[in-house]
Structure 1
Amino acid sequence: MLKPRFIPKTVAAAALTAHGLVAHATTPFVVGDIRIEGLQRVESGTAFAYLPIHVGDTFTDQMASDAIRALYATGFFDDVQIATEGNIVIVRVVERPAVGTIDFSGLHEFDKDNLTKALRAVGLSPGRYYDKALAAKAEQELKRQYLTRGYYAAEVTATVTPIDRDRVSLLFSVDEGPSAKIRQINFIGNKAFSDSTLLDEMQQATPNWFSWYTKSDLYAKDKLTSDLENLRAYYLNHGYLEFSIDSTQVSISPDKKDMYLTLSLHEGEPYTISGVHLAGNLLSREAELGSLLQIKRGERFSAEKLQATTRALVDKLGEYGYAFATVNAQPQIDQQGHTVDLTLVVDPSRRVYVRRINIVGNTRTRDEVVRREMRQLESSWFDSNRLALSKDRINRLGYFTDVDVTTVPVEDTADQVDINVKVAEKPTGAITLGAGFSSTDKVILSAGVSQDNVFGTGTSLSVNVNTAKTYRTLTVTQVDPYFTVDGIKRITDVYYRTQQPLYYSTDSSFKIVTVGGDLKFGIPFSEVDTVYFGAGLEQNQIDVDSATPQSYIDYVNQFGRVSNNVPITVGWARDARDSALVPSRGYFTQANAEFGTPAGGTQYYKADVQAQYYYSFARGFVLGFNLQGGYGSGLGGKPYPIFKNYYAGGIGSVRGYEPSSLGPRDASTGDPVGGSKMVVGNVELTFPLPGTGYDRTLRVFTFLDAGNVWGNEGNSVGANGLRYGYGVGLAWISPIGPLKLSLGFPLTKHSGDQYQKFQFQLGTAF
């Protein structure tokens, strides 16, 4: 019987050194059995699968060396030895410890979860086998993460601590150090455009007041690559076809706190278009396709306009079913005269129809909610215009952070495609808050909770509460956007309102309590037009006392303290804005008429109109206009119900004045009583916050507001003419909704007016 002899892994690494081979050579024999000893977590079947020795093989020293290499290469073992006893091969292993926990210390810039994901990407996570080389690789990955945010002095040290069950705990101690700021950006060779103009095209910048928010002063290689592409695009859009970036130098100060960028540019000369031609298969539509050209002879070359022209031609061909149309621009450049002659070669390829539309990514939202917004139908010719409209409609649902629509050819066919609509869902619940602060320490609060996609059905449900002393409300609204398969919308409202206009008369018990509900149906007449019809039922109770304005006392004396109302409504709305959240172009209009029927005891009509228009006249600058008005009157010889009066003033109306304080006031008490006629106009100029580039989520605005409320003279005074307010504000698309802060000042002051300078509102537009 041979004594057991072990061949260590170090011998295998050297392919069995001469000493081991000569002194301990094994006489070849046929393997009768194989035993593996030392396994704890690794399954024996797994180990045998990697082992290149099998029963019946002729065992040699070379075979032992190969076996050690194979087992060690798995990464499961710290030590591998092979022994023989007669015709039995014994494999003894020492498993590597497993990673039990991974923790961090010293983190400030990064979230722990983000770094954990980064380590998982390089193969280090709890449950994996511990490897010193992998731990070192993890240290380098963490340093790389800090480099992307400008922390060039960051140091990472890994500490390994053995714990129970043959596991280790890893602690990565981070010394972040200071972040490197971009102190200077220099351009060399730019003559056509100033340094400031070129800096506006870059994401990275030197420190300014808002760097804490934008992080634009932190150097990052990927940001620099993007900035270089932005500069190249800017020059190409202005005709500089010979533009190039000759060199990019990045230097860092010895203390690793300051970065210096130097960009060497070659501008060349601007090129003019000497001709534009269409060629290829134009499908006998030369005139139609020619009308889409956005570049003309004699103009300066613009890569942006060329791309827009190419895209317009491809989209137009796509409307006729040519899903794979291409347009290639072939330029003929005259370097002497600095001109370029463009030939656009059109290849419509083949006409196809849509076989199937696949919806993916909607784990919560039902398929039908997405499919009913599709204007491109299955088994019909492909239409790029309808497909783009479908994508826009899905985006406007507000249920998804991203909507990606792709066209995939069907295998083994020449005229079919599938449409894949991939969506990424987002939380559809929202909380809205609003508040105002007056010089008399009055606080006005409002709140709302809404869910726009209840149980994934597309139905919305919201609850809104207003706690203002003058106007307290509780409203529950349910909207079913597809009450019928034709897209008829149903809106159900139930509300409770308490109105107490005497907010600066603490001893008065005067208030108006309204309880009711209504049901409306919206019928779409086009992609942007909807007509509304509805009816409601409400009860108004007016509580008066000695301090109540005389107009309310007179109304109660004539019609009683309780008034029932059965209103019917007719309305129309058109929304042609590019975005409901941050519009930059387009318009929104709506009109609504309400009639009080004799069935309720009150007879009246009121008409409300609103129009908004947005115009972007420069990059990042948006001019917005809002005009709304209301008019009401009694019918059948009855007066207009006083509880239907309009009010104006405050945020959402005329800023700089107390909410609902404008218009007629009671002759004896001086309290605002509202009126039957109202006009409000707003003009806002919105532009990026200086130092933030063209970030649309953080903007500054200036405004000019005008408006007032009028009513019957009777026992009221003080309506006069329009009131004007002006001011500045800040708009921020915060994680919990759009926030507006405004500082308003009245332009005209009249006796009895109430002013309010600072206001903010969360979850609002104008």
Structure 2
Amino acid sequence: MTRLPNRRLLALALTAALFQASALPAMAQSADPFAVGPAPVAPSVQSPEAFTVSDIRVDGLQRISAGTIFTYLPVERGDTLDSVGAANAIRALYKTGFFEDVRLDRQGNVLVVTVTERPAINKIEITGNKDIETEDLMNGLKENGMAEGDTFDRLVLDRMTQELNRQYNNRGKYNAQIEPSVKRLDRNRVDVTIAIKEGKAASIRHINLVGNEKFEEKAILDNWESSEHNWLSWYRRDDQYSREKLSGDLEKLNNYYLDRGYIDFNVDSTKVSMSPDRQDMFISAGLTEGEQYTVSSVQVTGDTVLPKETVENMVLLKEGSIFSRRILEITSDSITAALGNVGYAFAQVNTIPDVNRADKTVGINLQVVPGPRVNVRNIVYKGNTRTSDEVMRREMRQFEGSWYSQAALDRSKIRLQGLGYFETVDFENEPVAGTDDQVDVVVNVKETASGSFVFGLGYSQLSGLTTQIQVSQDNFLGSGNRVSVQAQRSRYQQRYDFSFLNPYFLDNGLSLGYNLWWRELDYSDFNTAQYNSNSGAAQMVLGLPITETDTVSGLFGIDTNQILASGSTPEPIRDYIAALNTRTFHAWRMEAGWSRNSVDNALTPSRGTHQRIWLETTLPGSTVEYFKLNYSFSKYWPISRHLVLNTRAELGYGDSYGDAVTRNICFSAPVGGIPGSDEGGGNPIDPPETPQPSDPCIPGTSPDFIESVTADGLPFFENFYAGGVRSVRGFVDNTLGPRERPCATCATQPIGGALKTVGSLEFYFPSLFDSPAARPSAFVDFGNVYKDVDSFDAGELRASAGISLMWRSPMGPISISYALPLRTEDEDKTERLQFTFGGNF
């Protein structure tokens, strides 16, 4: 779809349309501002006889001062005024645009100037527009002298109406109607209304190429933006006719043949016809293909700066190959970029072809013109009203006083965009006056909101209604530091968090941060084994970049976790707690990780890789000694201009490294049966009031029941889970993997496992909305959770396929997916439609 013009382009177009109006003689202005079109007005002079002006009087002024009149009037006291001078005076006053009528009269030798002021614009209203934003239209009007409070000029309004009609015609909307109206108010004011009926864009019903013999029409039209009406046109809108779009497609047609060696190719004619109702368009183009040319020779001349062999190795076209302008441009760009990286900012490669039409060959001479080697004198930052220059400067890979490097600037742009503080980042080179070997690099940014105050609601099928208060600032006081305070309450958790991160604690990029949090979780509403947990932690985090894309990180902290179990808690969890004879787990925790991020855009990546591996372990002296190893991988593959493939995988494994703990529990069976049997009864996680350190439990007693329980492997509260919007879509959150029954007649509950395997293939399509933050996709997800490594069975992997939409809306992030489970088991809980609102993707 053709992109709408930005505000500046629209204003320029309207200015050009109005230029001629400003150059018309004053007498051509309309005497009636409410007339349908301009009507000529003749100068009004009561006495044609010349006289010497002894004084000047001005009548009819309301808003405009007499001083303004005298400024523009080319007559002063003592001048002799004749008919020619009177006409010139009237023209001069008309040219100001302030008056709809001007009269000159004579009373004795006093010149009387009688004026009727044009009305002032009280309000401007635009209705019915969708293709062109109201803000852009208003700014276009304002920049051309039509804004609220300005003097109304009907001719300006008429010219803008014509220009808007032209703009809509260029978008294929030939039924668009622009109807301006002016309403007179008291005190010489008017209200201006521009009513727009855009109508529908004409659809392309047929495209016909005449003269193509070497290539099929379908192959040629495959990369056109314009397309015949098809079943996907409602989504892609490629059948909407646009003059600009067709012009671009004809250029693509020319490139298609030149890239395949047809140097003599020509578009002989282009015909666009329209149905009587102006709704259907028919496009026809006549072609002359010519013959295919091969490359007879390739040579590199000029001052290559770099070793000539190095430059010649960059040449992709070889002798005997089919000529291709695209490959030739890639070669030129490669040479120019290589020279730009060593300081030759204005290097050029001139392509000089030698065409032999008799032999159908072309010789190519690549003439390298490096220009002067350029040094960067200053780097100037503009547009950063909140962010300090230092925050931007530390992301720059181009340095002042060093040779100009295009690669360094490109990398600097990626790093600045990655901060998330700027909506746009652009670089400009400004030559230094008086020298040709220095430039100033100007970094122009447009800042975006980098902080938020959230007091609102969110919803997901897992957590239900979520209330949240969060104050966060990713660019605290413009320093680049990140501060966040959050309180959140949902169906299954209460959460309180504070975090701080200084990404440049040291000049070498070492980051330092702190996390404090407290969480109260009710896992019975979390689609997992039923128990409650109250946990808190204090942590310190470190990060150190080792390359442009690689970072190592670490964490050290202490935490506590109190488990509250009940009779509805699965037996393996109760046994684990009973074996350790404690419900409160303390840990000294350490994490170490490595990550690599080379994606091209943090919001909507289309190429690059993001992978991370990290080890989490508790240190000796913790209640439970264990480790967890995690690895995640995501790679984006640009399949075409409109299609991106994302391959994703996530692996997790955990285990204990301390000795297993075994403990015997003995107690008397209550009335109703033996605990743990089908007859119901007590709870083995309830230890005796006075725990005994050795077996038997209590000497001299005869317990009705003795149970030996063991705590080994990864603690149950650290188990991995899978299923849900962020894992394997189409399955209820956290429900995949091992399940246990708390009693013989109870339903099974997911308890997670020590091994997690999840993967996905996802195709991202062009956005349905005019926003880079919205991405529709089609996906295939697979994965499962296993008790341990020995339990892994590829045949147990679950799989699903579906469609998804991720959208960072103004109200918060929204993720919606519809999935069809492909591989399921009887106890699996499926959920085809899943969504979250107000959480992270």
TM norm structure 2: 0.80
Match status 1:517 vs 2:594: no
1:331-346 superposed matches below 5 A: 331-346=353-368
Residue 274 of structure 2: aligned partner: 252
Match status 1:752 vs 2:827: yes
Match status 1:642 vs 2:720: no
Letter in 2 for 1:754: K
Equivalent in 772, 784, 801 of residue 727 of structure 1: 801
Alpha carbons of structure 1 residues 263 and 690: separation in structure 2 relative to 1, 3 Å: farther
Deviation at 1:174, TM superposition (A): 3.7
1:172-229 CA-to-partner distances (Å, cap 9, x unmatched) read: 3444445422222222222333333333322233344454454433322222222222
CA–CA distance in structure 2, aligned partners of residues 418 and 625 of structure 1: 42
Residue 28 of structure 1: aligned partner: 51
Letter in 2 for 1:755: T
Equivalent in 350, 353, 375 of residue 397 of structure 2: 375
Match status 1:665 vs 2:687: no
1:239-292 CA-to-partner distances (Å, cap 9, x unmatched) read: 332222222222222222222222223322332222221100122511222222
The 10-residue stretch of structure 1 (615-624 or 276-285) with the greater mean CA deviation from structure 2: 615-624
Match status 1:709 vs 2:709: no
1:645-667 CA-to-partner distances (Å, cap 9, x unmatched) read: 22222233233332222222225
Structure 2: state its 5+ residue gaps: 1-25, 32-39, 661-711
CA–CA distance in structure 2, aligned partners of residues 573 and 699 of structure 1: 27
Letter in 2 for 1:229: E
Match status 1:591 vs 2:666: no
Please give the root-mean-square deviation of Cα atoms over the aligned residues, in Å. 3.7
Match status 1:50 vs 2:128: no
Alpha carbons of structure 1 residues 209 and 433: separation in structure 2 relative to 1, 3 Å: farther
Alpha carbons of structure 1 residues 153 and 750: separation in structure 2 relative to 1, 3 Å: closer
Letter in 1 for 2:721: Y
CA–CA distance in structure 2, aligned partners of residues 209 and 636 of structure 1: 63
The 10-residue stretch of structure 1 (111-120 or 249-258) with the greater mean CA deviation from structure 2: 111-120
1:563-582 superposed matches below 5 A: 563-582=585-604
Alpha carbons of structure 1 residues 474 and 238: separation in structure 2 relative to 1, 3 Å: farther
CA–CA distance in structure 2, aligned partners of residues 466 and 207 of structure 1: 49
CA–CA distance in structure 2, aligned partners of residues 404 and 580 of structure 1: 17
- Alpha carbons 1:437, 1:756 under 8 Å: kept: no
CA–CA distance in structure 2, aligned partners of residues 534 and 610 of structure 1: 18
The 10-residue stretch of structure 1 (471-480 or 420-429) with the greater mean CA deviation from structure 2: 471-480
Letter in 1 for 2:400: E
- Alpha carbons 1:727, 1:742 under 8 Å: kept: no
Residue 685 of structure 2: aligned partner: none
- Alpha carbons 2:738, 2:785 under 8 Å: kept: no
1:204-219 superposed matches below 5 A: 204-219=226-241
Deviation at 1:156, TM superposition (A): 2.8
Residue 326 of structure 2: aligned partner: 304
Residue 443 of structure 2: aligned partner: 421
The 10-residue stretch of structure 1 (631-640 or 243-252) with the greater mean CA deviation from structure 2: 631-640
CA–CA distance in structure 1, aligned partners of residues 366 and 527 of structure 2: 75
Residue 777 of structure 2: aligned partner: 700
Deviation at 1:382, TM superposition (A): 1.6
- Alpha carbons 2:527, 2:735 under 8 Å: kept: no
Residue 225 of structure 2: aligned partner: 203
Deviation at 1:344, TM superposition (A): 0.7
CA–CA distance in structure 1, aligned partners of residues 189 and 363 of structure 2: 70
Letter in 2 for 1:757: R
SS at the partner of 2:750?
Answer: coil
CA–CA distance in structure 2, aligned partners of residues 747 and 178 of structure 1: 42
CA–CA distance in structure 2, aligned partners of residues 742 and 615 of structure 1: 22
The 10-residue stretch of structure 1 (409-418 or 175-184) with the greater mean CA deviation from structure 2: 175-184
1:370-402 CA-to-partner distances (Å, cap 9, x unmatched) read: 211111111122222212211221122233232
Residue 4 of structure 1: aligned partner: none
Letter in 1 for 2:255: A
Letter in 2 for 1:162: R
CA–CA distance in structure 2, aligned partners of residues 173 and 627 of structure 1: 54
Equivalent in 555, 559, 565 of residue 576 of structure 2: 555
Residue 555 of structure 2: aligned partner: 534
- Alpha carbons 1:205, 1:217 under 8 Å: kept: yes
Equivalent in 674, 684, 692 of residue 761 of structure 2: 684
- Alpha carbons 1:565, 1:597 under 8 Å: kept: yes
CA–CA distance in structure 1, aligned partners of residues 385 and 62 of structure 2: 40
The 10-residue stretch of structure 1 (696-705 or 138-147) with the greater mean CA deviation from structure 2: 696-705
Letter in 1 for 2:106: T
- Alpha carbons 2:61, 2:115 under 8 Å: kept: yes
Alpha carbons of structure 1 residues 307 and 153: separation in structure 2 relative to 1, 3 Å: same
Letter in 1 for 2:797: R
- Alpha carbons 2:533, 2:562 under 8 Å: kept: yes
Match status 1:356 vs 2:356: no
Alpha carbons of structure 1 residues 234 and 258: separation in structure 2 relative to 1, 3 Å: same
CA–CA distance in structure 2, aligned partners of residues 446 and 211 of structure 1: 41
SS at the partner of 1:566?
Answer: strand
CA–CA distance in structure 2, aligned partners of residues 721 and 14 of structure 1: 90
Residue 264 of structure 1: aligned partner: 286
CA–CA distance in structure 2, aligned partners of residues 190 and 466 of structure 1: 65
CA–CA distance in structure 1, aligned partners of residues 741 and 554 of structure 2: 39
1:536-565 CA-to-partner distances (Å, cap 9, x unmatched) read: 222111101111112222233224111122
- Alpha carbons 1:620, 1:696 under 8 Å: kept: no
Alpha carbons of structure 1 residues 457 and 182: separation in structure 2 relative to 1, 3 Å: farther
Deviation at 1:526, TM superposition (A): 0.9
Alpha carbons of structure 1 residues 355 and 559: separation in structure 2 relative to 1, 3 Å: farther
CA–CA distance in structure 1, aligned partners of residues 643 and 126 of structure 2: 44
1:348-385 CA-to-partner distances (Å, cap 9, x unmatched) read: 11112111001112233322222111111111222222
Residue 40 of structure 1: aligned partner: 62
CA–CA distance in structure 1, aligned partners of residues 641 and 154 of structure 2: 53
Deviation at 1:51, TM superposition (A): 1.0
CA–CA distance in structure 2, aligned partners of residues 129 and 199 of structure 1: 51
CA–CA distance in structure 2, aligned partners of residues 546 and 503 of structure 1: 16
CA–CA distance in structure 2, aligned partners of residues 446 and 204 of structure 1: 47
Deviation at 1:525, TM superposition (A): 0.8
Equivalent in 674, 688, 693 of residue 752 of structure 2: 674
1:156-195 superposed matches below 5 A: 156-195=178-217
Alpha carbons of structure 1 residues 254 and 485: separation in structure 2 relative to 1, 3 Å: same
Alpha carbons of structure 1 residues 55 and 328: separation in structure 2 relative to 1, 3 Å: same
- Alpha carbons 2:43, 2:102 under 8 Å: kept: no
Residue 690 of structure 2: aligned partner: none
